[in-house]
Amino acid sequence: MFAFMSKILKTTNNKENVEDMSTVKQVNQEVVVLRDEANNLRNEVQQLRNRVNGLVDELHTLKSEMSRFKGQVAKDITTLENMSTPRGQL
Tell me the per-residue pLDDT of 1-52, one tens digit each, with 9 for 90 and over: 556 656 655 655 555 666 777 888 899 999 999 999 999 999 999 999 999 9
Q: What is the mean pLDDT of residues 51-66?
A: 98
Global confidence as pTM: 0.56
Q: What is the pLDDT confidence band of residue 84, given thresholds at 50, 70 and 90?
A: confident
pLDDT value, residue 17: 62
Beta carbons of 40 and 34 less than 8 angstroms apart: no
CA 30/CA 13 separation, integer angstroms = 26
pLDDT digits (tens, 9 = 90+) for 13-23: 555 666 777 88
